[in-house]
């Protein structure tokens, strides 16, 4: 009932706001509203403890909560922190805060909020910004925060200062259970927009401009997220102003006058391998799989050529720390067969391999995504099956609902599984999550590979290496080893496109390296709506 | 052999109660058989990984342990009218259902009423004019339309009217956060309702029309119609006050059957037109393995249908006096 | 008034339905031989327009749409026949039985029907699909378990009405056994309704199959008219409506239409009361 009254009240407020917006002197700089289209809709309430774990959830939170450092279309910019410095001797970062920064309830943002946030996230961890390394935060005055780390942490500026939302101390210091705190105060932040409404079942969000935003005036009075399964239709009719689109839609939309932007590679399609089970526990066998797969065919079939073959070292080919010497496996069925035979498999009359009478057969899980609105029938499974069978491996393709597939992968109840994930355009610390074996079991996209001691040591080392050149070397070596051991096989990067209506005057962009240090590859950076 | 038993109140009611209990158990047990769990559905495939102990803590929390609830606890909760909290949305299940229900009711209710009313009248009029050109035309058209499933007509309507012509929206129940006046808002909702409604009406109307016509034809043969004509009653009165009333029985029965298939039928239409009703909610709940929500929707719709069935049972008795009177008469229908 | 004689052989609707239905059935049976390519062959140019080589073009996975269509037709028909006939059989049995035995058994049967009706059938079907990945024939039989519940009430209602009719009572009076009543009166009088029920169950089964496939709940690798529509709809922005979307919609509609028509016309033939209408 409460929600109903709130909704009625909000609609009334929206009416008033709309009316007053009209009544106000025609302000050509300020749009009434901007509508963003999304296929899933519901990404959770926009605060650190409630948004869903995926990228779009974080982005919705970022409209409201600002971080110390942010990125705009050209790169790093100061946000809550107007300047910062690093002292390598003591592993200390000093941030000078912007004195104009205010919370949505009018109180100023001070260094005490920053110190409090670090302590709070230590007590109630927020997986997007792991603050385990932070030893202490001192606040010599209201505008200075001095953060001391226990050991050097290379991605600190991007992944903590550039990702961690700062919480208002005066609100959160009384909160002992952040997960159940959903009062309106839980959404008070220092970002350019205030949270107004979220409708779960309709999958819609409403944000309203915070005119006292310290970096500049928001260009639109309201930001609205709408769930739509048909972005082309919605963009054409003007129902939404910006949305991610399939590359095939680019041409018809351009003809209608919309601007198309494309992203660097941040999302990959990956073949998960159960490397704990024979015969997949032998890395030569996994290499044979890599030789047998024709990545270009997958792109041509599943994406009409819109994509690029993936590097097997996990970091995308346009990443600043991509290793061009990463072992590649250009498609060769012959080579695959050679390796299989060297492992003792004997080819039968039907072309399929067997060892000691046991036919070589692998069960491949393929997810048919059935989340309301998001329909992506997975053709890749069928094509992979064909390719692997050409190399003599019998494939039993099982198409399941994505949650069922995930559950089986978590329990290691599979041989191969076709899946995909993003987060590759950000800082290479992401590699740690996607490789190490001690990651939380529910992280199904991780290879959970602990067989290579050197790899694990390197993963630990590169995070602590503050010299960029040396760090790059370590990351290079990681990719080399990963591509040799192949705990999972990256297949390709699908082209990522978005379209927006330029008539509204907003220039949306894909952030370099993705939004936040974790590389979220969607073009909804709040800086597009801030006049600076 | 006894031809029928006197339907006294007690046995009937206890039978219904037993069914209700079985339904409650079914709504409890069936969702728990779904493989995968809510935790994986929410956190699996996330962009960032958590630490193992953090995950263990969350997994142990009450929110993700709905599956460990026993049947007695479930019953107790329902007894207190607590429908539980959705695992995925973290809000009371009842609230979520109440948000989605009006949309589905609006869609289904309007579709049924329109197709029942319109179909019945069309069928009665056609039967009255048996074997004439209008009758033959109507029968042909209705037969043709009945062959087109919701899947086909929905997709075609969407393509033509939403995607090509752009006359109607391709998705949604209403324009969100539009700040419209109540009157404009009603129009907006109706605007969004047209295509899904049209799809459902096109699917239900032919069946109702044809069945009404067939039932009407049988009724018109009855001797009492001759009597009514002999009495000099005007045609429309003979049609509706006398004949149609008897022809109504099978049509109402059919309505009852249709209501039962509500969720499945509506799911396709809601999916095609992205309409925010119970069907879509159930779909989301299933893929998120949200046990309380699935149980809630299943139970809610099941009990709802049972109530309607009970009402219809009473309506049969009202409409067909023979069953009420427990004796055979030569009059009435 | 001259009595109208009604012959199915000369009824245009029946002929139409028979021809269309027969053609589709033939196409489905001969599918494997008629199809120019293997429907699972993904070697063709993706989203190619219709041409002499590919009558309906190629879909997004590189498969020939015409071959796909034939296979899908076959799958949908077989599924529909199996589920529909099983469902009708159960419905007639349950409906007539509970009308005759109006004691506890009859009551329980109808209550069972109520219960089955009230369960949103999509849930157990999703469970089945997810847990057991059963072959389509098993899914069809499982569907039949839900299909029988609805019509059984209708048949029960009609049977109850019939059972109270005077001529039945008279027959009972004159010593007719249960079997006699069934054979001579009830079955012929229930027959038309049963045919309509069969048509509606066939229709419901094929519709269910198409809907489940469209929603992605059946094995996506299995060809179905519903999944073809689902995949095709994803590319609504391309010019594929005429070669990819329309054919399965038309086929599905024709299938359902012919099933309905056949039953309707047969009903008219069998019911003497409908024949002699002036």
Cα A266 to Cα A307, A376, A511, B218, distances in angstroms: 12, 19, 11, 69
The SS3 call for residue B150 is helix
DSSP secondary structure letter of residue A505: -
| Surface of C (161-200) touching B: CB under 8 A | 161, 163-166, 169, 172, 178
Cβ contact (<8 Å) for C236 and A404?
A: no
The pLDDT assigned to C250 comes to 93
pLDDT for C211-253, tens place per residue?
888 877 777 678 899 989 988 888 888 888 888 999 999 999 8
Give A417's DSSP letter.
E
- Is ipTM strictly over 0.95? no
Q: Most B CBs within 10 Å: which of A53, A272, A402, A449, as the mutation test of the B interface?
A: A53
Mean pLDDT of chain A: 88
A205 pLDDT above the threshold of 90: yes
Tell me which residue of A198, A196, A197, A204 sits closest to A41, measured CA to CA: A204
The tens digit of pLDDT for each residue in A486-522 reads 999 999 998 989 999 999 889 999 998 889 888 888 8
Share of chain C above pLDDT 70, in %: 86
- Out of A456-465, B164-173, B199-208, C263-272, least confident range: C263-272
What pTM was computed for the model?
A: 0.81
Helical H runs in chain C? 12-34, 65-100, 104-118, 122-132, 136-147, 149-163, 166-173, 178-180, 187-214, 225-234, 246-270, 272-275
Cα–Cα distance, B238 to B216 (Å, whole number):
12
Q: Choose the closest CB to A15 out of B36, B40, B179.
A: B179
Question: Measured between CA atoms, how close is C163 to chain B, in angstroms?
Answer: 7
3-state secondary structure of B97: helix
Residue in C39, C123, C229, C237 to test binding to A, most A beta-carbons within 10 Å: C237
Residue C273 has pLDDT above 60, yes or no: no
Put simply, the chain C residues between 17 and 46 with a CB less than 8 A from any chain B CB are: none
* pLDDT above 50: residue A148: yes
Please enumerate in sequence order all residues whose Cβ is within 8 A of that of A25, keeping only pairs 6 or more positions apart, or say none: none
Q: Tell me what pLDDT residue C18 has.
A: 82
pLDDT, tens digit, 9 for 90 and up, residues A80-102: 999 999 999 999 999 999 999 99
A176, pLDDT greater than 60: yes
Amino acid A375: pLDDT: 45
A230, A377, A400: residue with CB nearest C236: A230
| E-strand stretches of A150-275 | 193-199, 204-209, 217-218, 220-227, 242-245, 259-262, 268-273
What pLDDT, on a 0 to 100 scale, did the predictor assign at position B157? 93
Instruction: Assess whether pLDDT exceeds 80 at residue C111.
Output: no
Determine, for residues B159 and C261 on separate chains, whether the beta-carbon distance falls below 8 Å: no
Provide the CATH topology of domain A1-64+191-263+496-532.
D-Maltodextrin-Binding Protein; domain 2 (3.40.190)
Q: Cβ–Cβ contacts within 10 Å for residue A363, how many?
A: 16
pLDDT value of position A273: 95
Q: Express the helix, strand and coil content of chain A in percent, nearest 5 each.
A: 30, 25, 45
- pLDDT digit string, tens, across residues A480-496: 999 999 999 999 998 98
CB contact under 8 A, B283 and A406: no
pLDDT tens string A312-357 = 999 999 999 999 999 999 999 999 999 999 998 998 888 888 888 7
- Domain residue ranges of chain A, discontinuous segments joined by +: 1-64+191-263+496-532, 65-177, 268-494
Render each residue's pLDDT in chain B as its tens digit; 333 residues. Answer: 333 344 445 556 666 777 778 778 877 887 777 766 778 777 777 778 887 888 888 888 877 877 777 888 888 888 888 888 888 777 889 999 998 889 988 998 899 889 989 999 999 888 888 888 999 899 889 888 887 888 889 999 998 998 888 888 888 888 888 778 889 999 999 999 999 999 999 988 988 898 888 888 888 888 888 888 888 888 877 777 777 777 777 777 767 656 656 566 777 898 888 888 888 888 777 767 787 888 788 788 777 777 776 777 677 667 666 554 443 333 345
Do residues C71 and C63 make contact, with C-beta atoms less than 8 angstroms apart?
A: no
Q: A173 at the C interface (CB within 8 A)?
A: no
Which of the other chains make 3 or more beta carbon contacts under 8 angstroms with chain B? A, C
Nearest in space to A186 (alpha carbons), one of A160, A162, A167, A166: A167
Q: Does C122 contact B at CB distance below 8 Å?
A: yes
pLDDT of residue B239: 76
* A390 CA: distance to closest CA in chain B (Å): 30
Q: What CA–CA distance (Å, rounded) separates C84 from C151?
A: 12
Interatomic CA distance for residues A214 and A79, integer angstroms: 9
Q: What is the dihedral of CA A427, A429, A433, A439, to 10 degrees?
A: -140
Q: CB–CB of A65/A47 below 8 Å?
A: yes
Cα–Cα dist C155/C161, whole Å: 10
Q: Which of A436, A434, A480, A431 is nearest to A456 (CA)?
A: A436
CB distance A424 to A519 below 8 Å: yes
Contact C253 B155 (CB under 8 A): no
What fold characterizes domain A268-494? Dipeptide-binding Protein; domain 3 (3.10.105)
- Find chain B residues with C-beta within 8 A of A224's C-beta: 176-177
What's the CATH fold of domain A65-177? Dipeptide-binding Protein; domain 1 (3.90.76)
Of A386-400, A429-443, B76-90, the least confident:
B76-90
Alpha helices, DSSP H, located in A135-178: 169-172
Nearest-angstrom CA–CA distance, C21 and C206: 14
- Using DSSP, state whether B85 is helix, strand or coil: strand
Angle between helix axes C187-214 and C136-147 (nearest 10 degrees) is 130
Comparing B38 with A234, the larger pLDDT belongs to: A234
Instruction: Check: CB of residue C113 under 8 Å from CB of residue C235.
Output: no
Of A300, A381, A401, the CB nearest to C130: A401
User: Which chain A residues touch B104 with a CB distance below 8 Å?
Assistant: none
Mean pLDDT of C27-43: 85
CA-nearest of A16, A42, A3 to A208 is A16
Contact B176 A125 (CB under 8 A): no
CA distance A245 to A291: 32
Whether the CB of A202 is below 8 Å from some CB of chain C: the reply is no
């Amino acid at each position: 009932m409460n929600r109903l009254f709130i909704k009625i009240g909000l609609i009334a407020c929206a009416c008033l706001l709309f009316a007053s917006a009209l009544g106000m002197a025609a302000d050509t700089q300020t749009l009434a509203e901007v509508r963003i289209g999304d296929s899933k809709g519901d990404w959770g309430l926009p605060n650190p403890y409630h948004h869903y774990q995926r990228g779009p959830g974080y982005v919705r939170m970022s409209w409201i909560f600002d971080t110390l450092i942010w990125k705009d279309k050209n790169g790093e910019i100061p946000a809550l922190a107007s300047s910062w410095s690093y002292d390598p001797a003591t592993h200390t970062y000093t941030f000078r805060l912007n004195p104009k920064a205010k919370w949505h309830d009018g109180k100023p943002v001070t260094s005490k909020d920053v110190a409090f946030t670090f302590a709070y996230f230590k007590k109630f961890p927020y997986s997007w910004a792991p603050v385990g390394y932070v030893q202490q935060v001192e606040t010599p005055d209201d505008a200075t925060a001095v953060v001391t780390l226990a050991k050097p942490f290379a991605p600190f500026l991007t992944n903590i200062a550039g990702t961690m939302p700062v919480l208002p101390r005066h609100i959160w210091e009384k909160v002992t259970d952040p997960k159940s705190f959903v009062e309106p105060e839980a959404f008070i932040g220092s970002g350019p927009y205030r949270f107004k409404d979220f409708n779960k079942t309709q999958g819609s969000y409403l944000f309203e401009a915070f005119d006292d935003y310290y970096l500049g005036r928001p260009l639109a009075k309201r930001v609205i997220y709408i769930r739509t399964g048909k972005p082309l239709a919605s963009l054409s009719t003007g129902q939404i102003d910006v949305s991610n689109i399939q590359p095939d839609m680019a041409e018809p939309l351009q003809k209608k006058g919309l601007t198309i932007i494309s992203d660097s590679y941040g999302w990959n399609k990956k073949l998960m391998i159960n490397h704990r089970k024979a015969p997949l526990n032998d890395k030569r066998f996994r290499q044979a799989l890599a030789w047998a797969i024709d990545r270009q065919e997958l792109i041509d079939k599943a994406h009409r050529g819109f994509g690029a073959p993936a590097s097997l070292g996990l970091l995308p080919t346009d990443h600043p720390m991509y290793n061009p010497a990463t072992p590649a496996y250009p498609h060769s069925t012959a080579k695959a067969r050679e390796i299989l035979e060297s492992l003792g498999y004997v080819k039968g009359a039907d072309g399929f391999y067997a060892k000691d009478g046991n036919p070589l057969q692998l069960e491949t899980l393929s997810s048919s995504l059935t989340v309301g609105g998001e329909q992506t029938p997975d053709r890749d499974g069928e094509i992979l099956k064909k390719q692997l069978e050409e190399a003599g491996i019998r494939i039993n393709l099982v198409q399941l609902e994505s949650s069922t597939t995930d559950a089986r992968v978590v329990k290691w109840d599979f041989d191969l599984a076709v899946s995909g994930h993003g987060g590759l355009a950000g800082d290479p610390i992401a590699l740690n999550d996607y490789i190490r074996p001690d990651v939380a079991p529910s992280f199904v996209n991780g290879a959970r590979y602990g067989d290579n001691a050197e790899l694990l040591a390197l993963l630990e080392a590169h995070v602590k290496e503050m010299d960029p050149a040396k760090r790059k070397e370590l990351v290079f070596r990681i990719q080399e080893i990963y591509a040799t051991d192949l705990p999972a096989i990256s297949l390709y990067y699908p082209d990522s496109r978005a379209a927006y209506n330029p008539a509204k005057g907003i220039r949306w962009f894909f952030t370099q390296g993705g939004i936040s240090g974790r590389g979220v590859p969607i073009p909804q950076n709040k800086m597009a709506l801030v006049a600076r | 052999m006894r031809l029928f038993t006197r339907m006294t109140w007690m046995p009937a009611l206890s039978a219904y109660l037993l069914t209700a209990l079985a339904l409650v158990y079914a709504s409890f047990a069936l969702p728990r058989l779904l493989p995968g769990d809510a935790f994986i559905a929410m956190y699996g495939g996330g962009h960032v990984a958590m630490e193992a102990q953090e995950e263990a803590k969350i997994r142990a929390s009450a929110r993700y342990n709905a599956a460990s609830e026993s049947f007695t606890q479930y019953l107790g909760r329902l007894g207190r009218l607590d429908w539980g909290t959705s695992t995925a949305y973290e809000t009371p299940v009842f609230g979520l259902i109440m948000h989605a229900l009006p949309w589905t009711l609006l869609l289904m209710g309007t579709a049924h009423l329109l197709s029942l009313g319109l179909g019945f009248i069309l069928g009665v009029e056609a039967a009255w004019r048996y074997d004439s050109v209008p009758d033959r035309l109507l029968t042909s058209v209705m037969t043709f339309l009945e062959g087109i499933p919701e899947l086909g007509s929905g997709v075609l309507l969407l393509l033509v009217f939403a995607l090509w012509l752009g006359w109607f929206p391709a998705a949604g129940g209403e324009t969100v956060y539009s700040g419209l006046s109540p009157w404009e808002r009603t129009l907006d909702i109706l605007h969004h309702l047209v295509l899904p409604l049209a799809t459902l009406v096109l699917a239900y109307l032919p069946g109702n029309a044809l069945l009404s016509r067939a039932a009407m034809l049988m009724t018109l043969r009855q001797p009492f119609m001759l009597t009514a004509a002999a009495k000099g009653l005007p045609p429309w009165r003979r049609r509706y006050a006398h004949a149609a009333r008897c022809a109504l029985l099978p049509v109402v029965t059919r309505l009852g059957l249709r209501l039962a298939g509500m969720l499945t039928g509506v799911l396709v239409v809601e999916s095609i037109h992205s309409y925010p009703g119970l069907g879509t909610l159930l779909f989301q709940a299933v893929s998120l393995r949200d046990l309380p929500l699935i149980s809630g929707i299943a139970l809610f719709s099941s009990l709802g249908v049972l109530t309607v069935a009970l009402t219809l049972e009473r309506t049969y008795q009202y409409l067909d006096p023979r069953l009420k009177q427990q004796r055979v008469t030569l009059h009435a229908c | 008034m001259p009595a109208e004689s009604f012959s199915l052989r000369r009824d245009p609707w029946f002929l139409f339905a028979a021809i269309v239905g027969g053609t589709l059935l033939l196409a489905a049976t001969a599918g494997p031989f008629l199809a120019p390519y293997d429907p699972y062959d993904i070697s063709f140019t993706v989203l190619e327009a219709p041409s002499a080589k590919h009558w309906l073009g190629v879909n997004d996975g590189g498969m020939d749409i015409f071959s796909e269509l034939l296979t899908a037709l076959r799958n949908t028909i077989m599924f529909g026949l199996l589920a529909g006939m099983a469902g009708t059989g159960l419905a007639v049995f349950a409906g007539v039985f509970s009308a005759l035995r109006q004691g506890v058994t009859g009551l329980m049967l109808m209550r069972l029907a109520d219960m089955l009706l009230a369960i949103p059938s999509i849930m157990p079907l999703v469970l089945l699909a997810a847990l057991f990945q059963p072959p389509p024939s098993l899914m069809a039989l499982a569907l039949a378990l839900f299909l029988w519940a609805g019509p059984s009430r209708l048949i029960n209602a009609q049977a109850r009405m019939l059972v109270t009719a005077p001529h039945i009572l008279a027959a009972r009076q004159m010593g007719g056994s249960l079997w006699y009543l069934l054979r001579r009166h009830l079955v012929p009088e229930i027959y038309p309704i049963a045919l309509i029920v069969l048509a509606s169950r066939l229709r419901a089964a094929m519709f269910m199959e198409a809907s489940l496939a469209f929603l992605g709940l059946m094995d996506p690798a299995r060809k179905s008219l519903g999944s073809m529509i689902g995949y095709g709809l994803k590319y609504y922005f391309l010019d594929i409506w005429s070669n990819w979307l329309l054919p399965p919609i038309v086929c599905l509609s024709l299938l359902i239409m012919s099933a309905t028509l056949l039953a309707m016309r047969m009903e008219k033939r069998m019911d003497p009361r409908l024949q002699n209408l002036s």
